[in-house]
Amino acid sequence: MKRRPVLALAALLAPLLATGVPAFAAGTTLTVGAAVFPDSLRPGVSSYASLSLLQQTNDPLLARDNRGDLHPALATSWEAIDPTTMRFHLRQGVTFSDGVPFTADDVVFSINRVMDPTTGYAYMSRIGQVQSTTAVDKYTVDIKTKTVFPTLLRGLSDIIIEPKHYYEKVGADAVASHPVGTGPFVFQEWVPGDNYALTANKNYWGGAPHFDNLLIRTIPDGSTRVASLVAGESQIIEEVPVDLIDQVNESGSAKVDEISTTVGLVLTFDPTIKPFDNPRIREAFDYAIDKPLILKQILKGQGEILQGQVLTKGVLGWNPDLKARPYDPAKARKMLQDAGYDFNTPVPITTQNGKYVSDTDICNAVAGMLNQIGVKATVNIVEGGVFQQMSNAQKLGVLYMIGWYSLGDADFASVWYTKAGYRTKWVDPEYEQLFVAARSTTSEAERVKDYHRMMEILDQQNPSIFLFGLPSLYGVSNDITGFGASADKLLRLTQVRLK
């Protein structure tokens, strides 16, 4: 740097003179205030939040809608040709934004890339049972799995299809800094940590968007995000803080749109730490928590109380016969005393801040309620990176709060209570057996029966305290129509119209 002062100076001045306003050509612009912004556009490497950006430029084979139902995207139809092989018929006449036609080669390339361990694709496990992918002809692909794999279709909805020719031409790094895809929008500019600018894909196979430019800005702070919506700087914001719902609705310029998600927020015990190996003590904790009060006061009635299971209402495998335990602090205290619980045991509850709706608020309220019956509960807030590290080392402590997405199928959430899931140290042989059985059959009735029994085991054994099914809250300006809150937090903007 010192050796080439002139060059350095020029490089220094260039970003200084740049204004930071994306150079959109004329036209209408939709601005979105994002709560969580991904760190990069590198598919599969960054957090789940990147999927919301990546799916603007790239399509999966099957796409979910706002409620979580699957629809054809780059695959128009599919059928099982044997129990472990699924055949996909691809959409014809689709081109990538650089004009090259989309074919079966791109699908094979994308899935092989995901399965290649050196890629480090974080969502590999979504389609972890895939054995091979082959192109039958230009518009037909067969995906073969190692075993029967009933969640393949759902898993594929998280995997975007990328252009093979482009990777071969410029390499993975260049793709990540300038993605090319078949999606509804075309990449324009990516300013890490600030904004993502796109233009409408006029030739989108699903119909061109009704506005010209899309700007997704990161506004990490909840109240600032609401402020930008109310001030008219953005038309859509993600994750309206629950306490600010009224402020948005009463502003006269925007409304909150709510949808329930499949996230089940739970407090998980480490049963290898005494005395939490005793299921009676875990059950007593459950009685001590006034869930209806938290739902009413902190979540303002948004969301649902989990009924003794990790699954939210309506998910495939949800057990309608189970009920959440009522709030009964006297009983809780009595149970603890009977079990010989030492009330001086420190109970730190580990949680992240801002990862789930009202997470720290709920955690603090729970700690307060446990304090009421004499349990020495405290809240231990850790940052995302640390949480993940503790989680991977399986050292999250006595009690920790986490949300599990089921994405509509019990398999995705129930896996976290198996040994193979590595997320809880609680083990139950019958549960393990049922989980494998449900995964190895394509009969839906069979699977549902297994999941019902698994949920029953969770309810009896209390590896976790099951708290709430969380809502997803979007703030939507009155200046637009056609936007809906999405259960999986991916932005779907093709139907949005600016007034």
From the list 294, 372, 364, the residue with the least C-alpha distance to 333 is 372
In terms of CB distance, is 42 or 489 closer to another protein? Answer: 42
Instruction: State the helix-helix crossing angle for 444-461 and 279-287, rounded to 10 degrees.
Output: 90
Interaction between residue 374 and another protein (CB under 8 A): no
Residues 6+ apart with CB under 8 A from 398: 269, 270, 273, 276, 347, 348, 349
Q: Which of positions 118-137 make contact with another protein (CB under 8 A)?
A: 118, 120, 122-125, 128
Q: Which of positions 144-163 make contact with another protein (CB under 8 A)?
A: none
Q: Which of positions 454-473 make contact with another protein (CB under 8 A)?
A: none
Q: Quick one: CA dihedral 410, 412, 417, 420, positive or negative? A: positive
Interaction between residue 21 and another protein (CB under 8 A): yes
Among 10, 39, 203, 436, binds another protein (CB under 8 A): 39
Among 131, 134, 147, 297, binds another protein (CB under 8 A): 297
Among 135, 176, 316, 448, binds another protein (CB under 8 A): 176
Residue 374 has a CB neighbour count (10 Å cut-off) of 16
Among 189, 243, 432, 446, binds another protein (CB under 8 A): 243
Interaction between residue 14 and another protein (CB under 8 A): yes
Q: Are 286 and 301 in contact (CB under 8 A)?
A: no
Least distance CB 389 / another protein (angstroms): 5
Least distance CB 7 / another protein (angstroms): 13
Interaction between residue 173 and another protein (CB under 8 A): yes
Among 66, 391, 441, 494, binds another protein (CB under 8 A): 391
Q: Which of positions 329-368 make contact with another protein (CB under 8 A)?
A: 353, 360-361, 364-365, 367-368
In terms of CB distance, is 135 or 227 closer to another protein? Answer: 227
Q: How many residues bind another protein (CB under 8 A)?
A: 83
Interaction between residue 220 and another protein (CB under 8 A): yes
Q: Which of positions 193-212 make contact with another protein (CB under 8 A)?
A: 193-195
From the list 403, 407, 409, 406, the residue with the least C-alpha distance to 439 is 409
Among 19, 99, 168, 252, binds another protein (CB under 8 A): 19
Among 76, 378, 478, 481, binds another protein (CB under 8 A): 378
In terms of CB distance, is 123 or 167 closer to another protein? Answer: 123
Among 279, 329, 421, 484, binds another protein (CB under 8 A): 421
Among 7, 231, 273, 436, binds another protein (CB under 8 A): 231
Q: Are 367 and 335 in contact (CB under 8 A)?
A: no
Among 30, 32, 35, 41, binds another protein (CB under 8 A): 41
Among 228, 235, 302, 462, binds another protein (CB under 8 A): 228
Least distance CB 42 / another protein (angstroms): 5
In terms of CB distance, is 315 or 362 closer to another protein? Answer: 362
Least distance CB 69 / another protein (angstroms): 26
Among 64, 217, 291, 447, binds another protein (CB under 8 A): 217
In terms of CB distance, is 108 or 242 closer to another protein? Answer: 242
Least distance CB 466 / another protein (angstroms): 19
Q: Are 273 and 347 in contact (CB under 8 A)?
A: no
In terms of CB distance, is 82 or 173 closer to another protein? Answer: 173
